[in-house]
């Protein structure tokens, strides 16, 4: 029941904001309320004569929302089949991860591997993020793809009928899809059949829209309509803002930290270990991007782009540098969960009514089922 999500994910500020629970809920009773970083359950009331009672929309439901939430399990290390460094040659020459993803997707469209892509696109006037399906390489090259300004990406995925859907998102998005695909709950069957390819971007945190409003528009005095794109370079520890006039600005990632979703603090996956193919700047020379293939469909996608000449690749990857980022995120999330639990235990010594909540946090920190 969605009650489990409330107790073990939303109340503990562990929601990744991926939107998978909303896509999975065939009754349509979950939604993000304004400014909330997790969904809420819509409760309807029923009047019978003089009495009024609350209806439980989750009654007799097999809870696909719970079965697909990436926050209710622990994640072991994902597979690595191929690791290399690359640059896109077309549609643009670039070493930015977003451009590599577009290059792979254009090649995948051309050979019929996919027929649509779900991604976060930002509008040209307000730089506001929305989940969006695109259906052609032309659309892909015209829009502004931005995986790092938050919106619940997976929300529109419910009810998709195609069998050739690609998704580009953060590691938690790949985890949510993996859970849905692996589940035996019949309500999640559609995801198993429809999702063909998941491209994951390295991630240390996703930013709420107030990052754009407060930091870029107000503090840096850059009108939203002047922003052409925003790239996150974890290797350099910077956010790069490119404007339509060709100039660019940089923001240290540490300064933007306060705008990340609360749920990002307890996330341990930096390198999108459950995507088919994942990418980011860490591990590669400047101007190149590390590309990690993790599944047969990921391999097909990469080989296809290489054969078409859409990508240029080299085997020169600094695996040590990549490991430092991967391990430090795993350690950070564990340390934060344990610190929080310790503080809550101290609080419960003074307030015994808090003990059940602490017990739940203990289970959520140490006793979750793991995915291998």
Q: Report the nearest approach of ligand SF4 to the CB of residue 69 (Å).
A: 3
Phi/psi of residue 243, nearest 5 degrees: -100, 160
Copy the structure tokens of residue 53: 């009672």
Q: Report the nearest approach of ligand SF4 to the CB of residue 110 (Å).
A: 29
Q: Report the nearest approach of ligand SF4 to the CB of residue 206 (Å).
A: 4
Contacts of 10 (CB under 8 A, 6+ apart): 38, 39, 40
Copy the structure tokens of residue 30: 């979950």
Q: Report the nearest approach of ligand SF4 to the CB of residue 223 (Å).
A: 27
Q: Which is nearer to ligand SF4, 95 or 171 (CB)?
A: 171
- In terms of Cα–Cα distance, which of 155, 131, 153 is closest to 143? 131
Q: Which is nearer to ligand SF4, 84 or 272 (CB)?
A: 272
Q: Which is nearer to ligand SF4, 29 or 282 (CB)?
A: 29
Task: Determine how many CB atoms are found less than 10 A away from the CB of residue 117.
Answer: 27
Q: Which is nearer to ligand SF4, 9 or 113 (CB)?
A: 9
Q: Which is nearer to ligand SF4, 91 or 156 (CB)?
A: 156
Cα(217)–Cα(351) distance, integer angstroms: 44
Cα(123)–Cα(229) distance, integer angstroms: 11
Copy the structure tokens of residue 75: 């994640």
Q: Which is nearer to ligand SF4, 237 or 309 (CB)?
A: 237
Q: Which is nearer to ligand SF4, 39 or 131 (CB)?
A: 39
Q: Which residue minimizes CB distance to ligand SF4?
A: 267
Q: Report the nearest approach of ligand SF4 to the CB of residue 6 (Å).
A: 9
Q: Report the nearest approach of ligand SF4 to the CB of residue 317 (Å).
A: 21
- In terms of Cα–Cα distance, which of 253, 334, 307 is closest to 104? 307
Q: Which is nearer to ligand SF4, 226 or 360 (CB)?
A: 360
CB 280 within 8 A of CB 234: yes
Cα(363)–Cα(32) distance, integer angstroms: 26
Q: Report the nearest approach of ligand SF4 to the CB of residue 175 (Å).
A: 8
Phi/psi of residue 212, nearest 5 degrees: -65, -45
Which residues are at the interface with ligand SF4 (CB under 6 A)? 1-2, 5, 9, 15-21, 24-25, 27, 29-30, 38-39, 41, 57-58, 61, 63-65, 69-71, 170-172, 176, 203, 205-206, 261, 263-264, 267, 269
Helix (H, G, I), strand (E, B) or coil at 229: strand
Copy the structure tokens of residue 76: 């072991």
Does residue 281 come out as left (phi exceeding 0), alpha (psi in the -120 to 50 range) or beta?
A: alpha
Q: Report the nearest approach of ligand SF4 to the CB of residue 7 (Å).
A: 11
């Amino acid at each position: 029941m969605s009650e489990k999500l409330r107790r073990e994910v939303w109340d503990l500020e562990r929601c990744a904001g991926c939107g998978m629970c909303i896509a999975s809920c065939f009754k349509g009773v979950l939604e993000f309320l304004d400014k909330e970083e997790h969904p809420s359950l819509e409760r309807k009331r029923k009047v019978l004569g003089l009495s009024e009672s609350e209806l439980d929309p989750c009654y007799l439901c097999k809870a696909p929302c719970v079965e697909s939430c990436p926050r209710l399990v622990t994640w072991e290390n994902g597979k690595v089949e191929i690791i290399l460094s690359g640059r896109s040659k077309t549609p643009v020459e670039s070493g930015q991860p977003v451009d590599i993803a577009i290059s792979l997707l254009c090649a995948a469209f051309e050979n019929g591997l996919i027929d649509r892509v779900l991604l976060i696109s930002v509008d040209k006037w307000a730089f506001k993020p929305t989940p969006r399906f695109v259906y052609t390489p032309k659309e892909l090259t015209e829009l502004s793809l931005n995986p790092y300004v938050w919106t619940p990406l997976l929300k529109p995925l419910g009810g998709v009928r195609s069998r050739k859907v690609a998704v580009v998102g953060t590691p938690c998005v790949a985890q949510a899809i993996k859970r849905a695909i692996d589940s035996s709950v019949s309500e999640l069957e559609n995801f198993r059949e429809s999702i063909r390819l998941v491209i994951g971007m390295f991630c240390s945190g996703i930013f709420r829209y107030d990052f754009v409003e407060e930091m870029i528009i107000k503090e840096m005095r850059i009108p939203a309509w002047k922003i052409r794109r925003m790239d996150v370079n974890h290797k350099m520890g910077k956010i790069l803002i490119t404007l339509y006039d060709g100039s660019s600005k940089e923001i240290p990632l540490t300064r933007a930290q306060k705008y990340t979703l609360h749920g990002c603090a307890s996330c341990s996956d930096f390198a999108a270990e459950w995507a088919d193919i994942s990418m980011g700047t860490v591990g590669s020379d400047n101007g190149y991007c590390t590309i990690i293939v993790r599944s047969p469909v990921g391999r097909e996608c990469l080989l296809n782009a290489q054969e078409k000449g859409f990508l240029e690749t080299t085997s020169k990857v600094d695996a040590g540098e990549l490991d430092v980022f991967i391990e430090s995120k795993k350690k950070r999330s564990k340390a934060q969960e344990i610190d929080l639990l310790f503080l809550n235990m101290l609080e419960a010594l003074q307030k015994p009514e808090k003990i059940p909540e602490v017990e739940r946090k203990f289970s959520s920190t140490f006793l979750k089922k793991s995915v291998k």
